[in-house]
Structure 1
């Protein structure tokens, strides 16, 4: 444990209590607990609704207009016919899947002018939360509080979770899951309704939906029209159903009215969505490992891969379309990690965490023997386990980012279970069935795969892997390759040999390999050089890296649970929010600009004027469609203009993270004012440490979305579906209320909920 001077410790202990409390607007709160934790504060900041109108089981509420879109984004329902709004980058892979060189919807955009033109998306889901419940006591039944390993505890917990979730939805069409909160001190269950017939309705061209590209990503000021529109379809009973041409648009329990009233500094804002992952209660050792070890390695690897993909994508339209979604995904967190590292260093986050740990130490030492026994060894345990795991964390990052960043090796690893089944002498029918499944799954992979591009990536990433992995953790197989292919171009020569000899570089070759595997011929894959390399690395990883890594991280998880319990006991006047874990949360704040650096002040909004100032036909990131230029020059803005221009984006102090992409940004009256799509560069460290002065979420102003749909795309029929309030063309809408009369569908839903 780090030793602090008595003078420094005294200074920490004399900090005012206000500095130890949760900062303004920080937090991602459970909707279930808003009444007791947040309602008064939210109303003081401008909320006109009650907590019951935000989250309710017994009647339609705001939660019923919010969905988890796919596996990692959020969407909002904006009409009574199941129209769903999310980000362009959230729908990007679906837009790409419908695109080809002949029908390039990524470049040109896509708009369904009638229901028949709305495009199905196999595998895409929209998930509603029906209700949530604290099930901590059920999950921890029979789980010892001490003298048990983290792995054994988790096995008991998972057994209880399976029992509780199955009982919760038995006899219904609902699904359920349970997640740990506060590092496993509490558990909450979520009962869900999952729709699988989701159709693409509209998407702007990338020159609008991705305007600014990687240059502006994670940055403010921003002028990106980052939205796409889908529709949820249901069966005749309004319940989830597999895709069918006879399905009907889903009738939601609530949809969000859209405000044309605009925003101003100080206005209340609320983000309702599914934030993915934060680590707000990380210790000083965890923060140091993040920005000293893990982030730099991952950034270095992705930087190399992105440069190679970019060059090939610019050289070929086919490759551009194949790799568009993959490139965007890789680039997104590459830039985020860079900003996060800078932000943590600027906040001196390690020192601030050390200060908290010093206060914790004093609190422990000032307590009784029980407190000392429970919490005294924690910080020394953290230091020991982070020191033990540091090299293994780095080695793990190089395997997952570099080795499995080579698509050929990742694919070889994905079918490595087939020769294992053969070696285990499984029944021939089981092996043949597994092979058929693998053969069908290969189609999607090779549709978006270009072997010459991947060969370049392999040469670069394997060199980084061999160089960056701690020497003691490099597999012998890789060391032998280094000797066999020496020199600066050694890995390039090896990659050329690898790709010329492997049968997995083409869809046809992979199909032939899988056919032979299905007949029991394991050597069809085990003799392939791609398998041999991936197997050597992954086997070594499982045997020599993962055990130590898992032991350290399991110990850290156990320590973290106790540490957070201690922090909550130490600071009884503080409202603690749980880390994000891809469950439904509310974040709230206010519209505000910020000062990113000395002498620089950013305003809270951007406009179409600023977009045109950025326009640059020589830079793909800043190309502007001719139709948009035409509308700008003629000032043909319809009812969406303010002061002679169109608002594009705005910022506020809401605490967001990945997964909040596509989340509705809602005003104090429960009306949609925008769609969240990013954070500012200076605020990307908010996953670990929130700074109220610099953390801002970036929101697409709903008026720009309407302008693009109506005036740019000519899809006014979609706008007519929506409920507009507070301006020209406004239609009457009510906030969700207990006084709203339930429809038959709402009554049926309420009855089903009651049965749960």
Structure 2
């Protein structure tokens, strides 16, 4: 894997300001590949050369990593076998399931490659190379003072750099990622594998044991693992699903160590963590605490009550809605954990104090005051603008995902608008070239759509819109509200009439009749499409102001981070942004509260103890109890526990996107699969602390035990080189 050796421009500049000698190793951090030279993993406990993890001139462990469906996975055989989380495969299993073949409930074991089934909606993305392009991106806005123009030019330049990279190598997909907002930009080149198949997924009462009762909670006893396989065309190129495709041969695959780890062992993770926000000012934290987190959590709580009630109609409906319910539940519990953590730490006040100290530091230096004296007040003023439209903006951000038919309407309106903009005969060409993509996108929406759920949730969203502050109104909603009449009655009437007459509620009609020709698509119209046009119009009309705000924020945050690094006399690790990172630490318990210590391992015994209660989340297959009572552990027991370890804790720095990340021991061998954090660690997105930040992984010994003893998937153990006796 050939990675550019260019130094990140922004970091190099700060290094000159603070002096290289000021650097000290971080106790926390999701380290980009470019930063690995700043840490000494061997001193921390790594037993192999650090270059075996990442070597720009040769194959290394990072070549075994994949991004699959927004999660992380890793190759564990030379035939493209991937291990990740059960919850990362959940949507694909749901789409493959039916009341007759309920893989979601009963699990799926292929038994042979010929019986593996398509993991719909999932692709694999492999990091091929990266290159610092900060000079190119920021050079494009030299001398640009208009904030809206600045952000537009930056975004255009990022897309242009990615397009150029793709045009010079047709086998890759390219993306420019902002590492530090307004400061550092990196071009990533990715290989994409389009044909991903399900190999083995445990039954739901193993893969999701504990359900929402245990979600984001320790101790855990969840077998959150799944196996997939990557396929390519016979010539090795990426291709859509085909019976002629062959298993992908990765450059590198991880060795699985069935002996696992013990307390205080050194461990590390490679993965694609989503987003963190640790380098943001107090106003951003306040925005999260007072607005975004409570609004979203409460909305998803309401939606899930509706979806769960709707799912009681029949198993087919329950299956259709299951992925959405699971995603909502995961987010709302995470957000409530964050709220608890933010308030418990008084993080807004902490950040405000740090910001005041930074302002004093800037004002104490004549030159800094001259250039950055207004920095903190400008940030404060900008966030006042953001707060002024926050309820409207949050509503607009949720309306399409809340109501499936509105999302369908948005896709169709957008397609019709782009087609109408084409001159003459090019309209038909656009339709012919693009309708299959529109059809696929709509099919994905319909896969988790139910009319009754849509009606109830749409009603609530419109009622919420009718009660927004006067300066944050939704124009198209106001048009349906007449003074002197009940908002509820008018909204009920609008929705009743709109949903009765729209043909968009009929998936078969839309996919097989409406999309049949450009003429039928162009000529179709109804009240739901018109309502969506009104929404899109307001979003478009406010785009300039949003761009201006984003442009100002981009510049201010670049200066903010630079000044903080200067003030602290240290370099910061960029916030996570779904690019490949490393984090390291130790298998370790913790004390979440006074006089309480949480041990770092759970066992099958603990699973059975939970199962003795009446909580339906603690169901498990009877075979587990039978095997445990017979002490049929095979080679997968942990001797000091006299049991099979199920899950374990470690103090590594993780966040969303690290789901499915391989947990590796000091020798770079896979010993577990990361899947969650403890409730206290949901605050990790904003602040990390070794005292309470703990992540959770499923122990490889439990994975192998379940595969061999419970699901008789010994063929997988043979493929990854594990003896089953």
Report the TM-score, using the length of structure 1 for normalisation: 0.87
Q: Is the 8 A contact 2:264 2:587 kept in 1?
A: yes
Corresponding residue number in structure 2 for 1:120: 118
For 1:236 and 1:430, the matched residues in 2 are separated by: 31
For 1:660 and 1:404, the matched residues in 2 are separated by: 24
TM-fit CA distance, 1:167: 4.7
23-32 or 86-95: which moved more?
Answer: 23-32
For 1:89 and 1:257, the matched residues in 2 are separated by: 23
Corresponding residue number in structure 1 for 2:266: 268
Corresponding residue number in structure 2 for 1:50: 49
For 2:121 and 2:172, the matched residues in 1 are separated by: 18
* 1:33 aligned onto 2:30: no
Corresponding residue number in structure 1 for 2:306: 308
Q: Is the 8 A contact 1:32 1:55 kept in 2?
A: no
For 2:304 and 2:144, the matched residues in 1 are separated by: 47
* 1:580 aligned onto 2:605: no
For 2:332 and 2:429, the matched residues in 1 are separated by: 41
For 1:48 and 1:322, the matched residues in 2 are separated by: 47
Corresponding residue number in structure 1 for 2:472: 473
* 1:79 aligned onto 2:77: yes
1:239-254 to structure 2, matched below 5 A, reads 239-254=237-252
What does the per-residue CA deviation read over 1:644-678, in whole Å, with 9 as the maximum and x for residues that have no partner? 32111111111111111111111111111111111
232-241 or 448-457: which moved more?
Answer: 232-241
- Specify whether residues 202 and 504 from structure 1 end up closer, same or farther in structure 2 by C-alpha distance, changes over 3 A only: same
- Specify whether residues 402 and 234 from structure 1 end up closer, same or farther in structure 2 by C-alpha distance, changes over 3 A only: closer
Q: Is the 8 A contact 1:67 1:127 kept in 2?
A: yes
What does the per-residue CA deviation read over 1:194-231, in whole Å, with 9 as the maximum and x for residues that have no partner? 22221110100111111111221111111111111001
- Specify whether residues 123 and 443 from structure 1 end up closer, same or farther in structure 2 by C-alpha distance, changes over 3 A only: closer
For 2:206 and 2:108, the matched residues in 1 are separated by: 12
For 2:571 and 2:132, the matched residues in 1 are separated by: 17
- Residue 646 of structure 2 aligns to a residue whose secondary structure is strand
TM-fit CA distance, 1:439: 4.4
1:529-568 to structure 2, matched below 5 A, reads 529-544=527-542, 546-568=543-565
What does the per-residue CA deviation read over 1:476-525, in whole Å, with 9 as the maximum and x for residues that have no partner? 43234344862656644543333222221111343477359821775622
TM-fit CA distance, 1:174: 3.3
Q: Is the 8 A contact 2:116 2:198 kept in 1?
A: yes
Q: Is the 8 A contact 2:275 2:655 kept in 1?
A: yes
For 2:709 and 2:457, the matched residues in 1 are separated by: 42
For 1:168 and 1:419, the matched residues in 2 are separated by: 28
Q: Is the 8 A contact 1:174 1:194 kept in 2?
A: yes
433-442 or 611-620: which moved more?
Answer: 433-442
- Specify whether residues 510 and 471 from structure 1 end up closer, same or farther in structure 2 by C-alpha distance, changes over 3 A only: farther
- Specify whether residues 494 and 304 from structure 1 end up closer, same or farther in structure 2 by C-alpha distance, changes over 3 A only: farther
Corresponding residue number in structure 2 for 1:599: 595
Corresponding residue number in structure 1 for 2:173: 175
Corresponding residue number in structure 2 for 1:503: 503
1:426-437 to structure 2, matched below 5 A, reads 426-427=423-424, 428-430=427-429, 432-433=431-432, 437=437
587-596 or 446-455: which moved more?
Answer: 446-455
- Residue 200 of structure 2 aligns to a residue whose secondary structure is strand
* 1:166 aligned onto 2:168: no
* 1:438 aligned onto 2:438: yes
For 2:635 and 2:531, the matched residues in 1 are separated by: 60
What does the per-residue CA deviation read over 1:329-374, in whole Å, with 9 as the maximum and x for residues that have no partner? 22221211111111111111111111211221122122232x1122
Q: Is the 8 A contact 2:123 2:193 kept in 1?
A: yes
For 1:622 and 1:505, the matched residues in 2 are separated by: 37
* 1:637 aligned onto 2:633: yes
1:248-397 to structure 2, matched below 5 A, reads 248-369=246-367, 371-397=368-394
For 1:532 and 1:618, the matched residues in 2 are separated by: 50
What does the per-residue CA deviation read over 1:4-56, in whole Å, with 9 as the maximum and x for residues that have no partner? xxxxxxxxxxxxxxxx9999641110123212x11x2x222211123211112
Q: 2:703 aligns with which of 683, 699, 705?
A: 705
For 1:184 and 1:617, the matched residues in 2 are separated by: 53
For 2:530 and 2:155, the matched residues in 1 are separated by: 37
For 1:154 and 1:262, the matched residues in 2 are separated by: 50
1:614-629 to structure 2, matched below 5 A, reads 614-615=610-611, 619-629=615-625
What does the per-residue CA deviation read over 1:93-122, in whole Å, with 9 as the maximum and x for residues that have no partner? 111121111000000000011110111235
- Specify whether residues 470 and 51 from structure 1 end up closer, same or farther in structure 2 by C-alpha distance, changes over 3 A only: farther
Q: Is the 8 A contact 1:605 1:649 kept in 2?
A: yes
What does the per-residue CA deviation read over 1:530-561, in whole Å, with 9 as the maximum and x for residues that have no partner? 223222233223324x4434422331221001
- Residue 678 of structure 1 aligns to a residue whose secondary structure is strand
Corresponding residue number in structure 2 for 1:738: none
For 1:487 and 1:393, the matched residues in 2 are separated by: 22
